[in-house]
Homo-oligomer: A and B are copies of this chain.
Amino acid sequence: MSDTQLLICGTAFTQEERDRLGAAHPALFVGGPDEMGSLDEGLRAGIRAVAFKGHTPFGGEAMDLLPQLGVIANFGVGYDAIDVTAASARNIKVTNTPDVLSDDVADLAVALMLAQARTMILGHAQAASGRWATEGAIPLNRKVSGSTVGIVGLGRIGREIADRLAAFKMDIHYTSRSEKETPGWTYHGDVVSLAKAVDFLVIALVGGPETKGHVSREAIEALGPRGVVVNISRGSTIDEGALLDALEARTIAGAGLDVFENEPNLDPRFQKLDNVVLQPHQGSGTVETRTDMAVLQLDNVSAFLAGRDLLTPVN
């Protein structure tokens, strides 16, 4: 059995992130849970902690290859790639990196809403290309402040988004598993009712099987011709085919999207749309926040290996 207790798992890790983990604890590396078997059995037998980053499914079979595994520390707040039920059944704790990324993700949600409504991609192209001088102004666009927004999922990130939008004098509606204490925001029991009531619909759900397709074709249709969808959660939380249909037919006004069903391989239908602002899943993609996430992941690993309480367990 090897003395190395930490396994770094995922090609998504940057070299800097791997170095930080490796500097704190001797560590092995595999590209993903599906490559676990490539490690020598003797090495696997020593592993007590996995630092994980990525979206490759991490299921019970991969866990079974690490008989001493006690914790999977996920890089990111969304741990839908990890089969938590399988982990719990094996007495494996899972941790994530909540809170530290909420600000950044909420910032990007607001930015997507503004950029879509104010046609900033078109505006930038017009000004930066010189076409402003030769072709004139861009068409008038759309006021954001004072409009009505629906937040789908009023968790940590949804709350941060709503707090920002309140400063834009927006009328805030939301859905959530249960009604929450809010400064007068309007609760809806289901997403179709929410979509009917608002112009902007911002999805801030957790990912995973429970929320798959939660924003349904019916909800998208209920949004109506002034409706704009903003998604900074997971591509899986909305019926992407129905969204594309609505964007193409202009039965809704547009979308601002940071996440996609098959990312980074986007449905090619997205490329032909002029009513969307698209981002490459960079909600938490700032230097400051990725460092905070890496440190929190490491702190969870270190706590476990030292026998201390985990900082941010999810099971």
Which among A129, A133, A276, A290 has the highest number of chain B CB atoms within 10 Å? A133
Residue tally, chain A, CB below 8 Å to B: 57
Asked if residues B264 and A128 are in contact (CB atoms below 8 Å), the reply is: no
Q: In the complex, A72 Cα to B258 Cα: how many Å?
A: 47
Q: In the complex, A144 Cα to B104 Cα: how many Å?
A: 7
Asked if residues B285 and A140 are in contact (CB atoms below 8 Å), the reply is: yes
The reply on A39 being an interface residue by CB < 8 A is no
Asked if residues B137 and A285 are in contact (CB atoms below 8 Å), the reply is: yes
Whole-angstrom distance from the CB of A115 to the nearest CB of chain B?
A: 6
The reply on A278 being an interface residue by CB < 8 A is yes
- Say whether, besides A127-B278, A130-B266, A288 and B142 are in contact (CB < 8 Å): yes
The reply on A228 being an interface residue by CB < 8 A is no
Asked if residues B133 and A266 are in contact (CB atoms below 8 Å), the reply is: yes
Q: Which residues of B contact A128 (CB under 8 A)?
A: 270-271, 276, 278
- Say whether, besides A163-B167, A282-B137, A286-B142, A107 and B118 are in contact (CB < 8 Å): yes
Q: Which listed residue, B104, B169, B281, touches A143 by the CB 8 Å rule?
A: B104
- Say whether, besides A108-B118, A145-B107, A123 and B288 are in contact (CB < 8 Å): no
- Say whether, besides A110-B114, A111-B120, A138-B280, A103 and B146 are in contact (CB < 8 Å): yes
Asked if residues B169 and A166 are in contact (CB atoms below 8 Å), the reply is: no
Known contacts A118-B285, A120-B120; 14 additional CB pairs below 8 A are A103-B145, A104-B145, A106-B145, A115-B120, A118-B282, A121-B124, A124-B277, A127-B266, A127-B279, A137-B285, A138-B285, A140-B287, A140-B290, A143-B289
Across the interface, name the chain B residue whose C-beta is closest to A262: B133
Q: In the complex, A280 Cα to B123 Cα: how many Å?
A: 6
Asked if residues B167 and A124 are in contact (CB atoms below 8 Å), the reply is: no
Q: In the complex, A16 Cα to B136 Cα: how many Å?
A: 17
The reply on A61 being an interface residue by CB < 8 A is no
Q: Which listed residue, B137, B164, B270, touches A280 by the CB 8 Å rule?
A: B137
Whole-angstrom distance from the CB of A169 to the nearest CB of chain B?
A: 7
| Interface residues as binary, A198-216 with B (CB distance below 8 Å gives 1, 0 otherwise) | 0000000000000000000
Which residues between 81 and 120 of chain A lie within 8 Å of chain B, taking CB atoms?
Answer: 103-104, 106-108, 110-111, 114-115, 118, 120
Q: In the complex, A268 Cα to B130 Cα: how many Å?
A: 8
